Amino acid sequence: MLSPFFKELFINRSFSFYLPATSLNALGSSLFEIAATVYVYNESNNDPKSIAFFMIVLLLPSIILPPFGGVIGDKIPKKLVITISNILIGIFALFMFLFPFTTYIYFLSFLVSSIRILSGPSRGSYIPEIVEENYILTANSRLQSGTSITTIIGMLISGLVVAKLDAVYGFLIYAICIFIASFLTILTKPSTINEEESSINTDKKNLLGNLIKGFVKLIDVKDALRVTILVGVISGVSGIINVLYLVFVTEVLGMEESFYSVLMVIEAVGLFIGSLIVKHLQNKLGYLPLLSLCTIVDGICIGLHYSIDSMFSFLFLGLLTGTVGAQISILSNSILQKTTEASSRASVFGSFQMIIGIFSIPGLFIGGLIQSNENVRILFGISGLIITLIGLYYFTKSYFNKNKINNNVDKSSISNSNG
């Protein structure tokens, strides 16, 4: 029997291993992302196109691979998929540290991204297998809290690594973290395992049918489809400014590159705050109304970059975007997990992640074309306006149907658990 304190914090034994595993993964990932971004930026003589190109390289697999990852997650035990993918990513990160050449960095980063994306549907749909139905939102909030804390630590470490050592040491630390995360994942024990669903079927017609099934299920579940469209638009527009954050720090604000990691730390603090308050706000507002409201705040914060000049304003907006960003992530994952059937949950997540990737890449292309500081500000303003408007549209539609939407989510989760 678990003590009440342990039950409240870690939910159950499997989650007590999966939480630190995910947190360590986030620690290493934060180091990897900053190290790789700074390395590519420096090697290209501070050309923003290099950041855009690197991000596109990382996102290209998301156009094709997520549905296949969904089929893998539905046919092979998700625990096995997550563990093997972590081990492979750790090996590739170690190679990046040992052979820090630009061509290798691009190629190995592409492989790391491909494995992440293939295992993404399994990661996204694993929580319902290790926690009870009524703990899904709590579990997602706990994961976000843990990853936020370790991301903060990772950003602080990355700032020291970039400033005092060399960016490539971030790859080494990433490899160590991911290997430990693999071991912790092995210790988890899914409570719902269907042997028939976990069997590998290599029949081509069945494979094609499973690929299509994820999209069909996503379209059938209206709340899941709404979330996909909303998050897709946010990701597409945010893709523009994600390329330009480092440019904004160095060229617009005139700060050192290491200050970029400070922004990431502040955003991670916001992610932690958002993970603490999301359940309370969801109880008050409902799933989609809160998701829409967070989108509005996110858009306003992004748009305000058009006029800010001070470091304090920049960091404060980063804190707010982190706070609402955490809630957008937690709510969207929870809605998908609660409204989709266990037998096709990974396939639905694969379709969801593919759509997000398709939305994101055009934004990265646009961001990479920007050459002047003034254009950077204009793009932040336009991007913020677009996100605010779609958030307002969703909020007006969802708020007046709040009870209906929450009932749909609850009914879906009940029918899935009975099924």
How many beta carbons lie within 10 A of that of residue 211, not counting itself? 16
- CB atoms closer than 10 angstroms to residue 2: 13
CA–CA gap between residue 37 and residue 29 (Å, rounded): 12
Contacts of 46 (CB under 8 A, 6+ apart): 250
- What would the pLDDT profile of 376-415 be if each residue is shown by its tens digit? 788 888 889 999 999 999 888 876 665 554 555 554 544 4
Average pLDDT over residues 212-239: 79
Confidence at residue 201, expressed as pLDDT on a 0 to 100 scale: 45
Contacts of 410 (CB under 8 A, 6+ apart): 338
Cα distance between residue 393 and residue 397, in whole Å: 6
Query: What does the DSSP assignment read for 315-376?
Result: HHHHHHHHHHHHHHHHHHHHHHHHHS-GGGHHHHHHHHHHHHHHHHHHHHHHHHT--SHHHH
Separation between Cα atoms, residue 128 and residue 22, nearest integer Å: 15
Output 407 or 152, whichever has higher pLDDT: 152
* pLDDT over 60 (residue 250): yes
The pLDDT value recorded for residue 408 is: 52
299 compared with 147, residue with greater pLDDT: 299
For 199: left if phi > 0, alpha if psi spans -120 to 50, otherwise beta; the answer is: beta
C-alpha span between 263 and 400 (Å, rounded): 36
HSE at residue 330, side-chain half, CA atoms within 13 A, is 35
The CATH architecture to which 10-187+213-413 belongs is Up-down Bundle (1.20)
Grouping H, G, I as helix, E, B as strand and the rest as coil, residue 37 is helix
Give percent above pLDDT 70 in the chain.
Answer: 81
- Segment 55-107, tens digit of pLDDT: 778 778 877 888 888 888 888 888 999 999 999 999 998 998 888 777 788 88
Confidence check: pLDDT of 350 > 60: yes
For the entire predicted model, the pTM comes to 0.73
pLDDT > 60? residue 195:
no
Domain locations in the chain as residue ranges: 10-187+213-413
